[in-house]
Amino acid sequence: MVVPIYYGIARMGLDLADYMQHLEAIEDPLVQMEYLKKLVSQHEPFTLKGGGLFHLAFGALLTGSTINKKEK
């Protein structure tokens, strides 16, 4: 919960005029595009990339351990 909150607060403290000055100073259009993405992007947790496979794997482990305890 800390990282998404920080991500939003850090973006709100951004001075748009300074941001645009830095953007205009960059000559390479690809670098400008990546710099502009930082302004409009949202935080994406690493554990949810790839279809949330990380969470599915832990869910399978917890399910397996629960079923194993009920059988004993």
Quick: pLDDT tens for 4-13.
Answer: 777 777 776 6
Q: Are residues 32 and 6 in the same domain?
A: yes
| 58 CB-side CA count, 13 A | 5
- Domains identified in the chain, total number: 2
* CA distance to 15, 37, 62, 66, per residue, from 12 (Å): 8, 15, 39, 44
pLDDT tens, position by position, 20-63: 888 899 999 999 998 888 777 777 777 778 778 888 888 899 99
Q: Are residues 18 and 32 in the same domain?
A: yes
* CA distance to 46, 51, 62, 63, per residue, from 43 (Å): 9, 16, 27, 29
Distance CA 31, CA 49 (A): 24
The arithmetic mean of pLDDT across residues 60-68, rounded, is 87
Q: What is the pLDDT of residue 26?
A: 92
Q: Are residues 37 and 54 in the same domain?
A: no
